[in-house]
Amino acid sequence: MLWDLDGTIADSRELHWRAWSDVMGAAGYGVTERQFRHSFGQRNDLIIGTWLPGAEPGLIQHLGEDKEVRFRALVAAEGLEPLPGVHTWIERLAAAGWRQAIASSAPRENVEVMARALGLTTRMAVLVSAEDVSHGKPDPEVFLVTAARLGVPAARCVVVEDAPAGIEAARRAAMRSIGVGGGPLEAADVVAASLADLPRDTFERLVPQR
């Protein structure tokens, strides 16, 4: 069972926005929420390069690192709420013997602080982050690495994702997928507005006769 993190387990968009706003403002660069919405989910270097065309690589790295430090501080101070149905499914799958992992494109320190804030550290056997792979989604590397560390064949894995790139990565990895949220996720094997809407046998139907 492979979980994406941002937007799938928890909605951290507001904290990411506040972190960007604080860091860019302190450095003397204004950024609007509209700019943030259009860039959310991209790598920091691409985001800053779009906001500050021609910026020096050193400045881009400095701002990106400061933003992640600020984001982690906000998560640690304010916590995170899981999206509807998340904890129910994590506990249900754990009770049924499923091995679970987080497979995220976020920096490792972000993944770790978010997992702690959400109370997931005892339920996730593996945490895979940006530092563990060379290619981002839709490349399947993050899911293949996670499956290998779990010791589970790709064909026995189910990916839960909120982004089309993640669903495509699951397809390329030859894994079944569940798309949650309001995005264009029709390529997933199962699509639901929320994990709370999934029938109880959803995962067993995707990977039967475990």
Look at the domain 13-78 and name its fold: DNA polymerase; domain 1 (1.10.150)
Predicted local confidence at residue 210, as pLDDT: 53
Q: Which CATH architecture has domain 2-10+82-206?
A: 3-Layer(aba) Sandwich (3.40)
Q: In what order do the strands lie in the sheet with 2-3?
A: 126-128, 101-103, 2-3, 158-161, 176-180, 190-192
Is the CB of residue 8 less than 8 Å from the CB of residue 89?
Answer: no
| Per-residue pLDDT reduced to its tens digit, 60-106 | 999 999 999 999 999 999 999 999 999 999 999 999 999 999 999 88
Q: Write out the E strands in the chain.
A: 2-3, 101-103, 126-128, 158-161, 176-180, 190-192
Distance from C-alpha of 26 to C-alpha of 185, rounded to nearest angstrom: 37
What is the per-residue pLDDT for 190? 97
pTM value is: 0.88
List the domain boundaries for the chain: 2-10+82-206, 13-78
Q: How confident is the model at residue 9 (pLDDT cuts 50, 70, 90)?
A: very high
